[in-house]
Amino acid sequence: YKRKGEDKNIAKVQNPGITPVHLNRDKQSDYVKNFENLKSENLKPVFVDYKSEIHTNKLKNGIEVSYIENKINDLFNLNIIFDMGSDNNKKLALAVGYLDYLGTEKLSPEQVKKEFYKLGISYRVSAGGDRSNVSLSGLKENLPKGLELLEDLWDNAVADQESYDKYVAMILKSRTNGKTQKDNILRNGLVNYAKYGENSRLRNIYSAEELTKMNPDELVQIIKDLKGYKQRIFYYGKDVNNAVTALNESHKVPAELKNYPEPVKYKELETGDKVNFVDFDMVQAEMMFVAKGDKFDPQKLARSLVFNTYFGSGLSSIVFQEIRESKSLAYSAYSYYSNGRKKGDSNYTIAYVGTQANKLPQAVDAMLELMNNMPEAQKQFEATKKATLKKIAAERITKSNIFWKYEGLKNRGIDHDNREEIYQEVEKMTMNDLKDFFTENIKGGKYTALVIGNKKDMDMKSLKKLGKFQELEIDYLFNYKDTEVKQ
């Protein structure tokens, strides 16, 4: 239970002012000295040979099956992967989400779920922007029966208006809830708008009116038609031959699989000299700076990894120490260099400050100063290097993660475990290398400022000095023309 309203008994305390604390980064207490003298055996990094770890087979229909043996237990995970998503068909994500509400002519939705439960099997169908996945997981011994049940649902799902109305109500409720969450507004709505403007994947949705008028039979047909497109399979478990046999028997597809429809392209905008503001009833104020950088370059991965730890993320970072610990200008502050998820995607510099509304102008000045002049602390840099190397050395990519990590690397145009190169580069890295990275990629960045806060508490004049000011409505950010259906 949460009571909403205005507290009339709040006592306002006048800002007493803060005296900055001098940071003694180069000094160590006796405790730290003794702790660092403790000896422990260093972990050795373990790198993955993806091509030898991931094996391949083929179904009778020619569909490729990638597989990794589960050497730990008798559980399996089977994924039928389509390299298409809502970018290729706007209704696809909507359709696959609807499948969970459906049954067949023989089984109600509740009975379908009970049958899966009896087998110790679960299924999931999902669609992102550029990939869709039909997955099955559970006890290896029940894979054939579980797959048969899934394929029956996939081929024979029956739509009905009542279940579709429930599905739409859930979507609209989720949208309404999202409008009350400041993190969602800032990190999804405002960040996407800064990167793409009006033409973004986030905004390419159906309105409440469009959803209610949509024919549920059309969505079911989209689910059934998905099986006719090019696909590949990943299996993690024991006895791959058993899985291949089950797939040959139950996973029936057309002799000729269709190519994917052309995807919608979302053009990245240039950032800089803009301020996008959302008025929201909250006590604090939050701001993010977003600057578009160069296209993804694997040669920047090692230096950006060290930079993020040294400069912007964690309690020991320069940004946190300067803005939070030294000057008490924010309750949270960080910055990082974000590498593109795919080859051809842009990298971005992101900075964040969460503070009291009256401290925001000072916090902004402090952050922008750091983003243009990086303090040098040699001991902190050496500690960052050591921590980065230990993190790589401790990381173990195992089980099904081997396949999914390799998928991510291939999206970036990388066909091997590049952590070995990153590890070697970090070992040789100097403060001058870090300074060069900062100068080339961070300093002088063209930032779009994204702000969420209570307008009546904000110093709007200082915000407008940062660039062309635009106040945005939440419904506009997410393209929610109508979030509720009027009865």
Per-residue burial over 417-441, b if 16 or more Cβ lie within 10 Å, else e, is bebebbbebbeebeeebbeebbeeb
Q: Return the CATH fold of 53-250.
A: Cytochrome Bc1 Complex; Chain A, domain 1 (3.30.830)
Q: What is the largest CA-CA distance in the chain?
A: 76
Domain boundaries of the chain, sorted by first residue: 53-250, 273-466
| pLDDT computed for residue 482 by the predictor | 52
Q: Give the span between the Cα atoms of 430 and 436, in whole angstroms.
A: 10
Q: Is it true that 53-250 and 273-466 share their CATH fold?
A: yes
Tokens of 410: 């291939």
Q: Residue 349 region, left (φ>0) first, then alpha (ψ -120 to 50), else beta?
A: beta
Sites in the chain below the pLDDT cut of 70: 1-3, 11-19, 21-26, 482-487
Q: Give the span between the Cα atoms of 276 and 452, in whole angstroms.
A: 9
Taking alpha carbons only, the member of 242, 276, 41 closest to residue 147 is: 242
Q: Give the span between the Cα atoms of 134 and 75, in whole angstroms.
A: 17
Contact 377, 323 (CB under 8 A): no
| pLDDT computed for residue 483 by the predictor | 43
CA dist 356 → 280, 299, 336, 367, 369 (Å): 14, 39, 22, 15, 19
| pLDDT computed for residue 13 by the predictor | 66
| pLDDT computed for residue 487 by the predictor | 27
Q: What 3-state class would DSSP assign to 229?
A: strand
- pLDDT tens digit sequence for 273-307: 999 999 999 999 999 999 999 999 999 999 999 99
Give me the torsion for CA of 329, 330, 331, 333, rounded to 10°: -130
Tokens of 395: 């990381």
- pLDDT tens digit sequence for 144-187: 999 999 999 999 999 999 999 999 999 999 999 999 999 999 99
Question: Which H, E and C letters describe 234-290, residue by residue?
Answer: EEEECCHHHHHHHHHHHCCCCCCCECCCCCCCCCCCCCCCEEEEEECCCCEEEEEEE
| pLDDT computed for residue 486 by the predictor | 35
| pLDDT computed for residue 52 by the predictor | 98
Q: Give the span between the Cα atoms of 124 and 78, in whole angstroms.
A: 10
Taking alpha carbons only, the member of 245, 253, 260 closest to residue 61 is: 253
* Domain at 273-466, CATH homologous superfamily: Metalloenzyme, LuxS/M16 peptidase-like (3.30.830.10)
CA dist 32 → 29, 377, 392, 415 (Å): 5, 17, 23, 42
| pLDDT computed for residue 19 by the predictor | 67
